[in-house]
Structure 1
Amino acid sequence: MGNFACIERTKMEDNQQVMNTEEDIERKFEQEKREINLVPKKRDFFNYYKFIHSKKKNDKHNLDMQYFNIKRAKTVNTKRQKTFLIKECRKFHLNKVIRQLTMNEVVFVQQISHINIHSPIEMFEEMDKLYMVYEELHGGSLLELLNQYIEADTRLRNEEIGTIVFQLAATVHFIHQKNYVHRDLKPENICFEKENDFRSLKLTSFLTVKKRVENEVITGINGSYLYMAPEMLTGENYSEKVDIWSLGVIMYMLCTLKHPIGYFDNEISRQNLKEKLIEKFKFVPRDELIDFNCDEFKNFSNIVPEVIKKMLEVNPKKRISARDVMNNKWVNENFKNYKRKLLQEMRKTNKNVQYNAAFLAFKAKKIKKALFSYFANILATAEDKEMFSEMFRSMDIDGDGVLTSEEFQEAMTKFNQIRDGENAKNITKQVIKKGQTMELHEFINSAIVLKLLNFDDQDKVLKQMFDALDNEQQGEIDIDDLVEIFKDQGLPDVYIQMIVDYCDQDKNNKINYLEFKEFILKEDQVNV
């Protein structure tokens, strides 16, 4: 059995109008930034990061590397030297379509926050460039994982397949709920945060995403032919169901280590590949199009080929949704089995400090969370981030990537932080309102800083936080610098003014250490 390879570039023939001038692009980008409250840092990127060396040579099959200059960098002037992945994006490309694609991704990743989406932790904007800063992923891609199993002549366990498919379905469902279509789901675009940890899945490329507008028809070929739904490949109108087809192809490959419609020679041209696929879709009977009776499926219950069939339904109107995949008995049970092992591991260790920090994180008001987001990048260790990511996953019972009040209540009870169920319910009401959700970045950033403040050397941590804001190192924070940080975190102007009014009580446009400490440690002084 041969390895899978990247045998084609992503195809993009979108139906969106192409901007003609740099002024058009800049005007459109500024408009989109205002609409989503996107404010990249205007400060000099090189005051904060230093390039180490290129991640790797440009790969013509990696879409991000076709349109971004991807490098590794380390932090400058901080005690904790961490490495990051930097996507350098030129705002004004010679190719007008590429201009739009790069801006599409920039806008999307700032709007969408999900535990399985690889989002930038911060952005810097210069006259002609954007720098998007990402945590490095160390677990490799799903394509590499599949090839490892092929070379070892072994197969993935049911729990591993279920965990990967569930996370992908949950991420796709989240994207669809936000009225986007991804259009290029494939193993190359799916990576893992940590090696041999199937719970740490991250979707990594969003150049092809398309915003769905009510009553608007989506057309245009976008994506890789081998994972492309028939209706897109043949030039018909399509919907978000194209992502479900791609998910079905991926699940088939996870189960069989084969492509469902036959894998083609690596030297085949893109046009020949497209023609072969269209010929199969048009002329091969549906029952013969994909082999669900191969020996590999003998290792699975009948539920598995049935759910894949429903994803690989040629008629998109009959194709199931991402939520249907999440609710599938086999997928759901295997995901929960994998998750149950994590919970058992966590119960063996003392998590009191971490769960108390999590409790405080849920109580934090929006303004505090904005500050914590800034400080987490400065203070957090890799161990802290990993610990609270694991905690988030353990608390996220339905695996949809967000925490609800009900999940928080159950987690507090299960981990013996609140032994009485009724008491848990009452305390949870004080923390988050029923129906309210909390996303990964809010949870991790707040929990990390609150853990340091409440369970480490508080004065030392507060001094580190204060020094990070005291740009001139003169023992005072300039109000204008604080306002800029809050704007970077997307906080509305009215909230910023409330903070300024509270902190700068002597109206000298400066905040000293004692004023700063009082604001951070006192609860609910600004009730947003």
Structure 2
Amino acid sequence: MEFADSGDLDRQIKARAQDNFRYFQEHEALFLFLQLCLALDHIHSHKMLHRDIKGANVLLTSTGLIKLGDFGFSHQYDDTVSGVVANTFCGTPYYLAPEIWNNQRYSKKADVWSLGILLYEIVTLKRPFTATSMKGLMAKVLSGEYAPIPEKFSIQLRELVRVILAIDANERPGIRELFQIAYVKEGLKVFRQTVKKNTRIAEDVKEALISHVSEILSSESVPESRSGLVGQINLDVTFKGYVKKLGSGGGRSWKERYLQIARGVLILSDSETDQEGKALSLEQVQSACPVPFCTAKREFVFALNTIGGKSMWFQAESHKNMEMWIDAIHRGIGVS
């Protein structure tokens, strides 16, 4: 496969389109897609979203492997939906999921949608949805109608694109569910063998890739919608424990507090026995995510962001505990 050194996938797609639509071979397109899936699986396993998947962020190498770059949006802990729409993708958000256009809560499946848009571009060398205005683009995306994929590609690949580009996030598969699709699973097996035989790939990279693929192939299918419908509050989620909370008003003081989630409400108290804690409905919670050490100046800090644009920072007792808090909040608000 031809890769421009230090080039990116967006340039490769445009160059092929200008060269009389010189399509990728199906195995080339599939290998690009599988590597993107593996990268997203790694990101999602760390309780994060990428939120800026596009061809320009997919860096190509002469070994045939890709690198998914630009994690700027995934590290922003206080972003809003309007901010994402306004600032992502150089002002034209071709890759935004329908739920974001509809100003709804979004989950890891928003990244999967972006991945589907990119897969469509890889196989057609065109974008599925285009318009001359934001309003027009939104209408095109929400219609879910796009030009068919060339018949030179298999029915299985065309069906894969259709499944990923489901308008309803609840009908859209998560990354781990994608790996259970027979076409994808067989592709992973071939990809693993190809990586094993590639002498240009560094041994440590090769071992990490093979290990990741092998773990996926040996795992059972686990539904990713454990918390119910995307955006639906899950009253069954419970979690509690002591955390440290950053003081409001721009201060840098951290005070121990007792935090608990129960029956769709998040309660912050001075102690476990305090009966007069402050309650916040999970309906008002937009998201939760890690705060980088370089920003928080402390380890194990996570931010809880409200729909109103406010952010509260908490410090967990360990990295594992931080991930458990984020997971509980995400399950509670239906975006796990």
Q: With the length of structure 2 as denominator, give the TM-score of the two structures.
A: 0.54
- Give 1:447-486 correspondences, 5 Å limit: none
Paired position in structure 2 for 1:328: 181
Distance change (3 Å), C-alpha of 1:388 and 1:178: closer
Instruction: Determine the structure 1 residue equivalent to 2:231.
Output: none
Rounded Cα–Cα distance in structure 1 between residues aligned with 2:159 and 2:186: 16
**Retained in 2: the 8 A contact 1:228–1:242?**
yes
Higher relative contact order (CA 8 A, sep 6+): 2
Q: Match of 1:393, SS?
A: helix
| Cα distance in 1 between the residues matched to 2:167 and 2:108 | 14
Q: Which residue of 1 aligns with 2:112?
A: 244
Distance, in Å, in 2 between the alignment partners of 1:396 and 1:240 is: 19
2:146 to 290, 303, 315: 290
User: 1:149: which partner in 2?
Assistant: 16
SS of the residue 1:398 aligns to: helix
CA distance in 2, matches of 1:160, 1:205: 23
Counterparts in 2 of 1:140 and 1:281: CA distance versus 1, 3 Å: closer
Report the CA distance shift for 1:344/1:174 in structure 2 as closer, same or farther (over 3 A). Answer: closer
Q: For residue 302 of structure 1, what is the amino acid of its counterpart? A: I
1:257 Cα offset (Å): 0.9
**Structure 1, unaligned runs of 5 or more:** 1-136, 347-382, 405-489, 491-528
State whether residues 167 and 399 of structure 1, in contact with CA within 8 Å, keep that contact through their aligned partners in structure 2.
Answer: no
The offset of 1:191, in angstroms, is: 0.6
> How far apart are the structure 2 equivalents of 1:335 and 1:151?
31
Is 1:177 equivalent to 2:37 in the alignment? no
1:303 to 2:156 alignment: yes
Question: Do the aligned partners of residues 341 and 146 (structure 1) sit closer, same or farther apart at CA in structure 2, a change above 3 Å counting?
Answer: same
* Shift in alpha-carbon separation, 1:335–1:157, aligned structure 2, 3 A: farther
Give the distance between the partners of 1:393 and 1:178, measured in 2 at CA.
17
Maintained 8 Å contact 1:185/1:227: yes
* Kept after mapping to 2: 8 A contact 1:162/1:332: no
The Cα of 1:240 is off from its aligned counterpart by 1.8
CA distance in 1, matches of 2:35, 2:215: 7
Give the 3 Å change call, closer, same or farther, for CA 218–334 of structure 1 in structure 2: same
TM-score by length of 1: 0.36
In 1, Cα distance between equivalents of 2:77 and 2:214: 26
Partners of 1:333 and 1:157 lie apart in 2 by 17
Instruction: Say if 1:141 and 1:191, in contact at 8 Å, map to a contact too.
Output: yes
Q: Larger Rg: 1 or 2?
A: 1
Superposed, 1:206-245 pairs within 5 Å as 206-209=71-74, 219-222=81-84, 223-224=88-89, 225-245=93-113
Following the alignment from structure 2 to structure 1, what is the Cα–Cα distance between the partners of residues 197 and 52? 36
Gap change, CA 1:167 and 1:392, over 3 Å in 2? same
Q: Distance in 2 between matches of 1:154 and 1:280?
A: 26
1:333 Cα deviation after fit = 2.4
Counterpart residue number, 1:168: 36
- The one-letter code matched in structure 2 to 1:227 is Y
TM-superposed deviation, 1:397: 4.1
Rate the CA distance shift 1:276–1:252 in 2: closer, same or farther, 3 A. same
The answer as to 2:187 corresponding to 1:187 is no
1:331 aligns to what SS in structure 2?
Answer: helix
Which of the residues 279, 286, 297 maps onto 2:139? 279
User: What is the CA distance between 1:238 and its match in structure 2?
Assistant: 1.7
Q: 2: distance between equivalents of 1:310 and 1:242?
A: 14
Return the letter of the residue paired with 1:280: K
Q: Residue 159 of structure 1 contacts residue 337 of structure 1 at CA under 8 Å; is this kept in 2?
A: no
User: Quick one: distance in 2 between partners of 1:388 and 1:320?
Assistant: 31
Question: Residues 345 and 228 from structure 1, CA distance in 2 versus in 1: closer, same or farther, beyond 3 angstroms?
Answer: closer
Report the Cα offset of residue 212 of structure 1.
8.8
The alpha-carbon deviation at position 334 of structure 1 amounts to: 3.0
**Number of residues paired by the alignment?**
210
Contact 1:221 1:233 in 2 (8 A): no
Matches within 5 A, 1:250-265: 250-262=118-130, 264=131
Q: Secondary structure at the match of 1:226?
A: coil
Following TM superposition, the consecutive aligned residue runs of length 4 or more in structure 1 with deviations greater than 6 angstroms are none
Aligned residue identity for 1:149: R
| Residue correspondence of structure 1 range 40-51 to structure 2 within 5 A | none
**Partner SS for 1:148:** helix
More helix by share: 1
Residue 393 of structure 1 aligns with which residue?
209
- Please give the alpha-carbon distance, in whole angstroms, between the structure 1 residues aligned to 2:80 and 2:182: 32
Q: State the secondary structure of the residue aligned to 2:147.
A: coil
Kept after mapping to 1: 8 A contact 2:188/2:213: no
Q: How big is the alpha-carbon RMSD for the aligned residues of Structure 1 and Structure 2?
A: 3.3
C-alpha deviation, 1:393, in angstroms: 3.3
Q: Is the 8 A contact 2:129 2:141 kept in 1?
A: no
Q: Are the aligned partners of 1:261 and 1:290 in contact in 2 as well (CA < 8 Å)?
A: yes
